Chains A and B, each alone.
Chain A
Amino acid sequence: MAETVERRILGRMSPSDEEIVINFGPQHPSTHGVIDFVTQTNGEIIRRSIPDIGYLHRGLEKIGESVGYPGFMPFTDRLDYLAAMLANEGYAMAVERLLKIDIPPRAKYLRAIAGELCRISNHWVAVGTMASDIGASTPLTHALREREAINDLLEELCGARLTFNYARIGGVSFDAPEGWREKILRYLDHLESYIQEWDRLISLNQIYVKRLANVAVISRTQAIDYGLCGPNLRGSGISWDTRRDLPYGAYPDFQFEVPVGQGKMGAVGDCWDRYAVRVLEILESAKIVRQALARLPEGEIVAKVSRKPKPEPGEAMARVESARGEMCYYVVSDGSENAYRVRVRTGSFMAMGIIEEMSHGLMIADLIALIASLDVVAPEIDR
């Protein structure tokens, strides 16, 4: 069993006499999943760190070619388990574009509400684990407590707490339960006041700020060139949000701000900016949920779609602003009931691509801050 496989990644390392090559991962709590950062360091200073990914590759794109269009929906949950609602929504949108169907307004609103709640819960995990990676252990417990409340709300909606499988091709699977609206509003009231406590607890904490400000600054050009998206792109000062700029679903109806990194604590695009964007987005998502609840239209929640849809041959791409940025589903149909090709372009994968360039000259502890600030989730990288 103990066969050694030559790792070609080691060929990219060229340690001098004073340098060593270490595997940071694949099992390490601060790598946010099973990822190996092969790191060449001189003491604490990193010469280069190259992510070795694929430990969680499950061939989801290949599976998509054999399970039928509706059958792939539960697999999208497993793409990004922290923001499964948004991953569901993107896939449903791509197939709906292929089938050229429009979905009922109530379904659009329910998707928006569920998606934004999911984004809030994802961002809680992101900022909580980031604080814990930096060395502050209390905030994570607070963040998980907040997330738990949302998990309860989403469980009430669709019965699941993690892998929701909520969207359907043509709509959503369940209508809002009785009294759900009031429970969400109660939670949002709490959330909006709690954010101030959170900021006092960690966001503005001097030690925390010093660990993050001016660390791993990603410039505007780099962010665009590497195809970063979502909060990572906005952290570098680029005001781009698919929900606002290429609106889909119910989003044209909502008013919300797009927070961008402003370099309040250091340079624009440092780790603190990426962190702060996420905290601010929690409030913006709360705003969207309030608006959606206020205007939730009555009516059907799912359009009439065949159980085994057979789209005409063609291809469609759908972009959805997932919690980790633009998630693109590119679905190709050959006219049969199975997709010919399902491609998922994810924010985490793009974010990992920049680490090699950013890592040069960082301290090892700063690499952890960089990884945490990019908010990657391993199943989404590896698919």
Chain B
Amino acid sequence: MNAQEIHAKLQAQFGDAVGGLSETKIDPFATVKSDKIVEICQFAKTAAGLEFDYCEDVTGIDWPARNLIEIVYHLFSLQHRHQIVLKVETDRAQPCVPSVQGVWKAANWLEREVYDMLGVDFVGHPDMRRILLPDDWIGHPLRKDYQEAGGYHGVTNTRPDPLVRLGHKVEEERKAIAAAAPPPVAAPAATTPSGGFGTDSPPHQPPRASHAPGATTATNPAPAPAAATAPAPDKKESPNG
């Protein structure tokens, strides 16, 4: 059966509880009355010729402009290879829809997800808990006006832009070098080689002379010039950033 025939059959059974079929050319849908959804689904599952045995998807869409949340049911019949999309509208402030998990068990988890993401209460659902987010999460993320709460139990959900931080660091080190080095006299070799990125050779680490007896200060020239940059690195941060 195509969508028109299925829709006609539902409308014949439930009258104006089943709204008109949308005129969209892609996937037409019918909006049905919220309090009839369980009956309609039960009928669609059992009526001869329809036999929608497979609840493919239950999901929701938030429409703040229309002040409602749409619950979308994608029903499918493996036997007849036909499908119908039903929608139920519910108020955004107090969203609640009867649960169809008694009709298809698949709806149990799908409805839990809608509850988790959009805050829709499915009346008659035996296990109305959050499913993906933690139990104490605040808000329902797929609402269009959802604001992140700014972290979860001390775990932040923001981080400073690493490039900005690197830029500041380079700037500070340049200033430190400029302040430490006596400007006019010939000391170019001491100030330039380490560049701006002082983190590569942390100055507080001694040269490994004790472990490598052959190493002399000539082969390991780092400490003396780096001492000039010593005050620069940020104490709060490890060399690895």
9 CB < 8 A contacts A-B: A1-B154, A54-B133, A224-B54, A227-B54, A227-B106, A238-B78, A315-B24, A330-B74, A354-B105
* A353 and B135 contact, CB distance less than 8 A: no
* B135 and A8 contact, CB distance less than 8 A: yes
Chain A's nearest CB lies how many Å from the CB of B6?
A: 16
- Residue of B with least CB distance to A313: B24
Main secondary structure on A side of the interface with B: mixed
Question: Chain B contacts of A1 at CB under 8 A?
Answer: 153-154
B53 lies within 8 A of chain A by Cβ: yes
Question: Chain A contacts of B134 at CB under 8 A?
Answer: 5, 54
In the complex, A315→B110 CA distance in Å?
A: 19
Known: A6-B135, A330-B59. A59 touches B141 (CB 8 A): yes
| Chain B contact patch, size range | 35 or more
Question: Chain B contacts of A227 at CB under 8 A?
Answer: 54-56, 104-106, 110
Question: Chain B contacts of A224 at CB under 8 A?
Answer: 53-54, 78
In the complex, A305→B240 CA distance in Å?
A: 44
Question: Chain A contacts of B21 at CB under 8 A?
Answer: none
| Chain A contact patch, size range | 35 or more
* A343 and B59 contact, CB distance less than 8 A: yes
Chain A's nearest CB lies how many Å from the CB of B44?
A: 14
Known: A59-B141, A246-B81. A345 touches B105 (CB 8 A): no
Interface residues of A (CB under 8 A from B): 1, 3, 5-9, 12, 53-54, 57, 59, 61-62, 97-98, 100, 222, 224-227, 238, 240, 245-246, 314-317, 326, 328, 330, 332, 340-341, 343, 345, 349-350, 352-354, 357, 382-383
Q: Which residues of B from 174 to 222 have beta carbons under 8 Å from A?
A: none
- Residue of B with least CB distance to A332: B61
B27 lies within 8 A of chain A by Cβ: yes
Known: A328-B56, A343-B57. A314 touches B106 (CB 8 A): no
Known: A314-B26, A330-B57. A53 touches B108 (CB 8 A): no
B43 lies within 8 A of chain A by Cβ: no
